[in-house]
Amino acid sequence: MIIKHSRRYAALLSAALAMGGIAACGSAGDSAVSAPSASYPTALEKGSTLTIYSWADYISATNIAKFEKETGVEVKVDAYASAEEAVAKLRLTKGTSGYDLVVMDGSYVPQLAQGKALLPWDKNRLPGIAGLSPTFVGKSWDPTNTYAIPKSGGSTGYVWDSSIVKTPPSSWNDFYDAFADPAVKGRTSVIDGAPSFVGSYFWGNGISDQTTEPADYEAAQQYYESKVMQHLKAFNSYPRADLASGDLVLAQAFTGDARGALMDGPKTLRFALGSPKTDLYVDHWVLPEGSKNTAAAHAFVAFLLKPDNAANETEFHGYYTGVQASRAYLADNLPFKEIVFFDEGVPPDRFEPAEVTPARKLAVSTFQRLKAVGSR
């Protein structure tokens, strides 16, 4: 059996590993605010530097150049290889990381806030927050968005080749039922990560993915062993190329990768968001403790929350920023807009925010047992 993964999986795996040192995490809103946000400097200093820590190739070069021209502030971006690396640096440096602004997966925000590694935002300087989709704000990792301002996000669903899978799956259970079709055997994949794979059993069967009942995980394992494992080709968090080539015809996929597959592959490929529930992953802008240029950090995030600049971001990396008015600034022929704007017309409660809680350990253990079955 083949195993492939992506940076999204790296973030989820890192979160699971981080659980080893965390008894439990509430939300960032449970933490006492570490500094009065209104006391931050407001004046931008021309010639100063805004140092950002982010995934590579995740901020539009067009926007950086435009911001630099408008403000006189130089933007420097350092890239991290994994979310674990970024979290460790912020936790261990205790305000001496040297970064002014950091991109952080929402699931890590509670532990960083509780560890006093983050500063609160002065949201009065970020009027664009009001235009963010309800899907992106007020989530369990930071219900008041005190520490985390959405940058971009996505969800999970399934891709299938309609020339082979004749009945479109309309739920997670439909998706996994289709694995028994002889036409797809050996041409299927699921995401190589416990939250997405094990979680989809719970999403499809009305069970909270935060359950800590051992019986729920035993049921999930039995379900997958009976319905999926014997038909599965690969654990693959990056099925874009294999779907496009036809090596895969039925796959669980993140929205960004699914869109890429439909752009690259045959016109018979289709995508649907997981149902009746699915996950939500959102990267956020956070202010690290020790940020030396909070004025520029606020100005940059406010700049990116403007609809035209948010549209530049989506065109660059293919993900929705949550800025609802940005749609009007995107080309009418933007490929597969419906996947970019995955939450359009979808009730917010359909999405389950990815979280790092004690339930993650149980999901990881179940996932590891299923992978052991697959390797036999």
Going residue by residue through the chain, which has 376 residues, state the pLDDT in tens, using 9 for 90 and above: 444 444 554 454 444 444 444 434 556 665 555 556 668 999 999 999 999 999 999 999 999 999 999 999 999 999 998 887 899 999 888 778 899 999 999 989 999 999 999 999 999 999 999 999 999 999 999 999 999 999 999 999 999 999 999 999 999 999 999 999 999 999 999 999 898 999 999 999 999 999 999 999 999 999 999 999 999 999 998 899 999 999 999 999 999 999 999 999 999 999 999 999 999 999 999 999 999 999 999 999 999 999 999 999 999 999 999 999 999 999 999 999 999 999 999 998 899 998 888 898 999 999 999 999 866 6
The CA–CA distances, whole Å, from 251 to 45, 58, 147, 296, 363 equal: 50, 25, 35, 42, 20
Q: What length does the chain have?
A: 376
Q: Is 360 left (phi over 0), alpha (psi -120 to 50) or beta?
A: alpha
* Beta carbons within 8 Å of 33's beta carbon, 6+ residues apart: 120, 146
Tokens of 169: 């799956």
**CATH class entry, domain 7-153+281-340:** alpha beta
Q: Rounded to an integer, what distance in angstroms lies between the CA atom of residue 255 and that of residue 142?
A: 23
| Residues 6 or more apart whose Cβ sits within 8 Å of residue 1 | 232, 233, 234, 235, 374, 375
pTM for the complete prediction? 0.83
CATH number for region 154-279+355-374: 3.40.190.10
Please give the Cα distance from 73 to 225 (Å, whole number). 56
> If we measure between CA atoms, which residue out of 359, 116, 47 comes closest to residue 217?
359
Angle 62-107-39 from CA coordinates, rounded to 5°? 65
Interval 20-72: pLDDT, tens: 444 345 566 655 555 566 689 999 999 999 999 999 999 999 999 999 999 99
279, 209, 193, 365: CA torsion to nearest 10: 170
The pair of three-digit structure tokens given for residue 107, joined into one six-digit string: 């699931």
Residue carrying structure tokens 């694995």:
179
The DSSP H or E segment spanning 245 is helix 240-245
d(CA 118, CA 112) in angstroms, rounded, equals 6
7-153+281-340 and 154-279+355-374 agree in CATH topology: yes
Whose tokens are 């009945």? That residue is 167
Q: What is the residue extent of each domain of the chain?
A: 7-153+281-340, 154-279+355-374
Q: Per the structure block, which two tokens stand in for 326?
A: 């940005």
Q: Is 373 exposed, middle or buried (0-12, 13-18, 19+ CB in 10 A)?
A: middle
Residue partners of 126: CB distance under 8 A and separation at least 6: 149, 298, 301, 302, 305
